C-alpha cells in the first residue's frame, strides 16, 4: 500500500510536470486497476491544484526553501519580539505604574506557565488540524495579545495578555520549525533547523534597540512600542502562514527535498521508519524522561546568561570599562547563540552526540573563563560567546535529540510534551538563580559552578538516551 501511494505521488508529479520520474507502462496499467490508487492520485492532483501558486511555479521542486523562509520569518518576528524583547519594558512599565520590577517580571512567568499548560493541547491540535490554520491563528492571537498590552491600565491586564501569548506562542516557537523542516527535508534537517532558530537571536539584536528607541520617545512610549511591534508581527508573518505554508510536500505533488541519490534517500527513509515510536509509546520508555530532564536542565542552565550584565557590574572598582560593557556581554551571548544554532544544527546532521558534546563543552569552558574573574574584557566576551553556543541547545539540540531517540514520525507531538517541562522551568529559573546570587558574597561563583554541574549532567543524559535508542534499534 505504501509503495502504491508513493508511486501515485510520483506519477502525479509527472502528470503535473513538476518532476520527471520513470514509470513503466506495465506498472501503470497494474496500478490503474486499483481503486484506492485512483482515489489517491485524484486527491493528490486536486490538492496540488488548490495549492498551486506563482511561488510554486517559480521554485518547483525547491519549494522547501520557501518553507525555510517562512520558518525564518516566524522566528525573526513574533518569536524574537515576544521572547527576547521582554526586558526592555521592565523598567519603563514598572515606573509608569509605580510597582516593583518583580511585579512586572512576573508577566513573563505567567507567559511560561501558560505555555506549559497549553503545549500538550497545542501539540495534539497541531497534529490533527491544518498547519496553516494553526499557525495563522497563533499569529493572530499573539498580535492581539501583544497589542492589547498597549492599552493596559492595571497590572492584571498584562497578566491576562500573557495568558493569551502563552496560548499563541507554543505552535510558533516550539512546533512549526521541527515539524515543517522534518517533513520537507530528508537530509540536512539539523542545518536548516539551526538556521531557522538562529533568527530568534538575530531578531532580538534588531528589535531590542528599535524598541528601546520607541520607548524613549515619550512618557508612554512603551504603549506605542507594544502596538507597533504587534502590527509588525501580524503584517510581516500572516502572509507567509496563510499563503506559503503547506504541511507536507505531498500537498503540492512534491517529495521531501534530498541532496543525495534516490537509492541513498530510500535507505535513509527505511532506516528512520524502522525506529519510529508513537507519542503514546514514547512515554513508556526511560529515554523519554531522560530527554525531558535534558531539556529541563539545559533550559534552567541557560537562564544564567541573564546575570552576565550583573556580573560585569562587580568589576566596577577594579575594571570600570568592564562594568560599563554590560550591553556588550549580552550581545556576545546573543551572537554565540545565533552562531551556535547553525553550528550545532549542522553538526547534528553528522552526529547528534557530537553536537551535544560540542555545545556542552563550549558552555563549560565559557563558565570557567568567566569564573576566573580576571579583569580582562576579551576573556569575558569569549566566555559569554561560548556559553551562548551551549544556550543554542535549548532550541536546536532538544528537538533533534527527540528525533534521534524516537524517530521522525511523531517527533513533533513528543517534543510538544517535553517542551512543556522547559516552559515551567523557565518560569522558576530566574527566581532560584536570584536567590543564589544574592545569598552569599560568592554568589556568582556558586552560580557558575552549578551551571557546570548541570551541563555535565545534560551531556550524560543525552548520551545515555542515544545509547539506549541505538540498542533498541
CATH number at residue 207: 1.20.1250.20
Contact 415, 331 (CB under 8 A): no
Q: At 23, is the pLDDT very low, low, confident or very high (cuts 50, 70, 90)? A: very low
**Average of per-residue pLDDT values in the chain:** 84
- Indicate if 162 and 285 belong to the same structural domain: no
Q: Is 257 helix (H, G, I), strand (E, B) or coil?
A: strand
Burial of 447 (0-12, 13-18, 19+ CB in 10 A): buried
pLDDT score at 55: 77
Asked if the structure places residue 256 within a domain, the reply is no
What's the whole-number mean pLDDT along residues 226-239?
97
The answer as to whether 135 is a domain residue is yes
Residues 190 and 160 in one domain: yes
- Residues 241 and 286 both lie in one domain: no
pLDDT digits (tens, 9 = 90+) for 125-180: 998 899 999 999 999 999 999 999 999 999 999 999 999 999 999 999 999 999 99
Check residue 462 and give its pLDDT.
96
Specify whether 131 is located in the same domain as 15: no
Question: How high is the pLDDT of residue 463?
Answer: 95
Place of cell 492589547: 148
Q: Does the pLDDT of residue 263 top 80, yes or no?
A: no
Does 386 score more than 90 pLDDT? yes
The domain containing residue 12 runs over which residues? Answer: 2-49
User: Is 73 in the same domain as 36?
Assistant: no
Q: Do 356 and 434 reside in the same domain of the chain?
A: yes
Residue 227: pLDDT over 50:
yes
Whether residues 45 and 106 fall in one domain: no
- Are 73 and 199 found together in one domain? yes
- Look at residue 270 and tell me if it is in a domain: no
Q: Please report which confidence band the pLDDT of residue 31 belongs to, taking 50, 70 and 90 as the band edges.
A: very low
Residue 224 pLDDT > 60, yes or no?
yes
CA distance 433 to 436: 5
| Any domain includes 55 | no
Any idea which residue has 527505511 for its cell? Answer: 270
Question: Is 79 part of any domain?
Answer: yes
Does 358 lie in the same domain as 395? yes
On the question of pLDDT at 45 being above 50, the answer is no
Tell me whether residue 454 is in a domain.
yes
Q: How confident is the model at residue 275 (pLDDT cuts 50, 70, 90)?
A: low
Q: Which pLDDT belongs to residue 184?
A: 93
My answer on whether 464 and 427 are in the same domain is yes
Residue 355 in this model has a pLDDT that exceeds 90 = yes
d(CA 206, CA 80): 9
- Residue 48: what pLDDT? 43
d(CA 88, CA 447): 24
In this prediction, residue 279 carries a pLDDT of 84
Confidence of residue 280 (pLDDT cuts 50, 70, 90): confident
- 369 is written with which cell numbers? 573563563
Mean of pLDDT values over 43-65: 65
Mean pLDDT of 110-117: 91
The dihedral of CA 277, 283, 284, 286: what is its sign?
positive
pLDDT digits (tens, 9 = 90+) for 197-218: 999 988 888 888 899 899 999 8
- For residue range 282-336, list pLDDT tens digits in order: 899 999 999 999 999 999 998 888 788 888 888 888 888 888 887 788 788 888 9
Lowest mean pLDDT among 86-95, 190-199, 228-237: 86-95
What is the grid cell recorded at 354?
Answer: 557530537
- Whether residue 29 is predicted with pLDDT greater than 80 in this model: the reply is no
pLDDT of 394 over the 60 cut? yes
Mean pLDDT of 28-41: 45
Kind and range of the H or E run holding 410: none
Under a CB-based contact definition with an 8 Å cutoff, are residues 363 and 386 in contact? yes
Average pLDDT (230-234) is 97
Please give the tally of structural domains in the chain.
3
Percent of the chain residues topping a pLDDT of 70 = 85
Q: Tell me what pLDDT residue 186 has.
A: 86
Quick check: is 376 in a domain?
Answer: yes
Q: Which of 241-245, 272-276, 360-364, 391-395 has the lowest mean pLDDT?
A: 272-276
* Same domain, yes or no: 112 and 227: yes
Listed range (381-390, 405-414, 454-463) with the worst mean pLDDT: 405-414
Has residue 267 been placed in a domain?
Answer: no
Same domain for 386 and 439, yes or no, is yes
Amino acid at each position: 500500500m505504501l509503495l502504491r501511494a508513493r508511486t501515485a505521488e510520483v506519477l502525479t508529479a509527472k502528470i503535473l510536470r513538476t518532476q520527471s520520474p520513470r514509470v513503466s507502462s506495465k506498472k501503470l496499467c497494474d496500478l490503474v486497476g486499483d481503486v484506492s490508487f485512483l482515489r489517491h492520485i485524484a486527491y493528490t492532483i486536486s490538492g496540488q491544484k488548490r495549492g498551486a501558486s506563482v511561488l510554486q511555479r517559480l521554485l518547483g521542486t525547491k519549494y522547501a526553501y520557501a518553507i525555510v523562509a517562512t520558518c525564518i520569518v516566524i522566528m525573526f518576528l513574533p518569536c524574537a519580539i515576544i521572547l527576547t524583547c521582554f526586558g526592555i519594558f521592565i523598567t519603563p512599565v514598572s515606573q509608569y505604574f509605580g510597582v516593583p520590577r518583580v511585579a512586572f517580571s512576573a508577566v513573563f512567568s505567567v507567559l511560561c506557565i501558560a505555555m506549559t499548560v497549553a503545549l500538550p493541547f497545542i501539540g495534539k491540535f497541531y497534529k490533527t488540524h491544518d498547519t496553516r490554520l494553526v499557525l495563522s491563528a497563533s499569529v493572530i492571537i499573539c498580535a492581539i495579545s501583544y497589542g492589547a498590552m498597549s492599552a493596559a491600565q492595571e497590572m492584571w491586564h498584562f497578566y491576562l495578555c500573557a495568558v493569551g501569548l502563552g496560548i499563541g506562542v507554543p505552535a510558533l516557537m516550539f512546533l512549526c520549525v521541527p515539524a515543517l523542516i522534518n517533513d520537507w527535508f530528508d537530509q540536512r534537517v539539523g542545518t536548516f533547523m539551526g538556521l531557522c532558530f538562529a533568527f530568534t537571536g538575530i531578531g532580538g539584536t534588531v528589535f531590542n534597540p528599535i524598541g528601546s528607541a520607541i520607548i524613549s520617545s515619550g512618557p508612554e512610549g512603551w504603549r506605542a512600542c507594544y502596538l507597533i511591534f504587534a502590527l509588525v508581527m501580524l503584517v510581516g508573518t500572516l502572509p507567509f502562514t496563510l499563503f506559503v505554508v503547506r504541511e507536507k510536500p505531498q500537498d503540492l505533488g512534491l517529495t521531501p527535498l534530498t541532496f543525495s541519490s534516490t537509492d541513498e534517500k530510500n535507505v535513509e527513509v527505511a532506516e528512520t521508519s524502522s525506529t519510529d515510536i508513537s507519542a503514546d509509546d514514547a512515554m513508556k520508555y526511560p529515554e523519554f524522561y531522560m530527554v525531558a530532564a535534558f531539556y529541563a536542565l539545559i533550559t534552567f542552565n541557560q537562564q544564567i546568561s541573564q546575570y552576565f550584565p550583573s556580573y560585569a557590574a562587580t568589576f566596577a572598582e577594579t575594571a570600570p570599562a568592564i562594568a560599563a560593557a554590560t550591553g556588550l556581554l549580552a550581545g556576545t551571548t546573543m551572537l554565540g547563540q545565533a552562531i551556535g544554532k547553525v553550528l550545532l544544527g549542522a553538526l547534528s546532521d553528522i552526529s547528534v552526540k557530537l553536537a551535544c558534546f560540542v555545545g556542552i563543552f563550549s558552555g563549560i569552558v565559557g563558565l570557567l573563563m568567566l569564573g576566573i574573574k580576571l579583569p580582562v574584557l576579551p576573556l569575558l566576551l569569549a566566555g559569554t560567546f561560548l556559553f551562548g553556543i551551549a544556550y543554542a541547545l535549548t532550541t536546536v539540540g532538544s528537538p533533534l535529540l527527540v528525533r534521534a531517540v524516537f524517530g521522525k514520525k511523531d517527533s513533533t507531538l513528543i517534543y510538544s510534551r517535553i517542551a512543556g517541562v522547559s516552559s515551567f522551568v523557565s518560569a522558576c529559573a530566574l527566581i532560584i538563580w536570584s536567590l543564589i546570587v544574592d545569598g552569599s558574597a560568592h554568589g556568582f561563583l556558586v552560580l557558575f559552578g552549578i551551571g557546570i554541574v548541570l551541563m555535565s549532567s545534560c551531556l550524560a543524559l543525552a548520551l545515555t538516551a542515544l545509547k539506549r535508542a541505538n540498542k533498541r534499534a
